[in-house]
Amino acid sequence: MGHPLTDQELIERILQGQQQLFAVLVERYQQLVFTVAHRMVPQREDAEELAQSAFVKAYQNLGNYRGEAKFSTWLYTIVHSVCLTFLRKRTLNVQSLDNDHVYASADNMDGGLRANVVETKSKQATLMQAIQRLSADDAQVLTLFYQAEQSLEEIGGIMQIDPNTVKVKLHRARHRLKTLLEKNYAQEVQDWRH
């Protein structure tokens, strides 16, 4: 093969009986699916289980994918739905931001990006910590826009809101992230500028 198969080519082959190719889609999207799930459900074990459930659901419903949106948008819609169902079913378990587990979870996340430079990894870890401290809504819109590289329309489809509302939410989330970074990570932000 000269080039990697597109998502659509993979889906067509899977539906024609080459089910083992679904592993390629899983590999392609597993980090971002986990990241979206982890933003909505902070407990790592739950997020991993929900990410796996989302892939199972996607596989079971692959025949229903019509290609009207990007596969990634369709997949993130499934992740969002699976996580919302989970959150509705369980009782609220609010964790304090002072909880060491929350910081440890944020430290363990790297969004699938492997930096060769320690400074870049440090910046990324700081950003991930800061994003983890935002509301689930803010964290999700930032993750979908910057990490998953979804358009405003695609994010609107995933979150089931109007694209203009996404634009406003994204603007506000950026502002809250900037404020949080300046207030709680002032030294790190200062170091980035040098």
For residue 91, pLDDT over 80 is answered with no
Give the residue among 102, 104, 99, 83 at the shortest CA–CA distance from 40.
83
| Burial of residue 151 (number of CB atoms within 10 Å: 0-12, 13-18, 19+) | middle
What residues contact residue 55 under an 8 Å CB cut-off, 6+ apart?
26, 30, 33
For residue 5, pLDDT over 80 is answered with yes
Confidence of residue 131 (pLDDT cuts 50, 70, 90): confident
If residue 24 lies in a helix (H) or strand (E), which one and from where to where?
helix 22-40
Which range has the worst mean pLDDT, 84-88, 168-172, 182-186?
182-186
Indicate the average pLDDT of the chain: 79
DSSP assignment of 139-167 equals HHHHIIIIIS---HHHHHHHHTS-HHHHH
State pTM to two decimals: 0.57
